[in-house]
Amino acid sequence: MAGVVGLVVVLGAGIAIGLSVSGGSSSEAKPQPTPSQAPSTTASPVAPSGKYSMSAISNACDLLDPKPLAKWSSTPTPPVHRENQPDGGYGGGLTCTLRYTSISPTDSVTTNEAGISVEAEFASADKPPEFDRWNTGPRPGWTTGTINGLGTRNYWRAAAVTEPGPGASYIVGVQDSNVSVEIQVAVHRARGEEPLKTDELSAIGQTQIRAVLDRLKKA
C-alpha cells in the first residue's frame, strides 16, 4: 500500500508548504491461484532495465546532504526512510525525509522548521513512470516551470508566503531512463523573521536532485 511520511506546514493563503513522500511497496499482496484455477504458465513480469539502480543504497537518507538546511534550523528530528527492494515486476523505491528544528530568535518560543525529502521510484512492469503521477501541473499560489538539461523530463514548483510567518517550499521532479526522482525543500519561520526567497531553496533542490541521479547511476 502507499505510505506517506513527512513535514507539512499549512501557511497563509491556503498554501500547504511541506514535505510529503509516497509510493508503492514491494510488500503488496500478490494474487494467488484458487483451488479451481491451474497455476499460470505466463512468465512473471520483469521490471524494465535502465541506467539507474538502487542496489548500492542501503539507506535512502544517504542520498541527501542536509548541511544547507543549517542556515535555518540545525536540530535534527529522527529521519524517516524506507527502501523497497525490486520484486518481479516492481522496480523498487526509496524515500527519506529529514526535518530540522530551532527556537525562533524573535520570540524564543516558536519552533522554526526546515526539511528536505527525496523519493526515487524505479520503473515497474506495465505501469507508467511515477513522474506522471507527481507532475500535477499548475497549482493556485505556486509558480512552476522546467529546467534545461535535467533528465528526459522535469518540472519544478515553488511558493512563498509571509503570513502568519515566512514560509517557502520548492519541489523539483525528474524522469530519466528507468527512474523518477522528486526532491522537496521546505522552510517555515516565526512571525517577524526575514521573508524567505524561493531562489535559495531552488538552488538546494536542483543541486540535490542532480547528486541523487549521480548516486543512483549504475557503475
pLDDT of 212 over the 90 cut: yes
Residue 82's pLDDT is 96
Higher pLDDT, 20 or 102: 102
Could you tell me which residues come within 8 angstroms of residue 20 by beta carbon, excluding any fewer than 6 positions away? 4, 5, 6, 8, 117, 184
What are the residue boundaries of the structural domains of the chain, listed by start?
3-23+47-216
CB 88 within 8 A of CB 44: yes
Fill in the DSSP letter of residue 126: T
pLDDT tens-digit profile of 92-127?
999 999 999 999 988 888 889 999 999 999 999 989
Band the pLDDT of 42: cuts 50, 70, 90: low
The whole-number average pLDDT for the span 146-170 is 93
The whole-number average pLDDT for the span 136-144 is 87
pLDDT tens-digit profile of 84-94?
999 989 999 99
Q: Residue 160: name the closest of 201, 190, 118, 113 by CA.
A: 201
Band the pLDDT of 75: cuts 50, 70, 90: very high
The whole-number average pLDDT for the span 124-147 is 92
Distances from the Cα of 125 to the Cα of 48, 49, 51, 69, angstroms = 6, 10, 16, 37
Band the pLDDT of 21: cuts 50, 70, 90: very low
Q: Residue 191: name the closest of 163, 213, 215 by CA.
A: 163
Residue 126's pLDDT is 87
Please state, as a whole number, how many other Cβ atoms lie within 10 Å of the Cβ of residue 44: 9
Q: Please report which residue ranges of the chain form alpha helices under DSSP H.
A: 130-134, 198-216
203 burial (CB, 10 Å; 0-12 / 13-18 / 19+) is middle
User: Is 70 in a helix, a strand, or coil?
Assistant: helix
Higher pLDDT, 205 or 43: 205
The whole-number average pLDDT for the span 71-91 is 94
Distance CA 25, CA 177 (A): 21
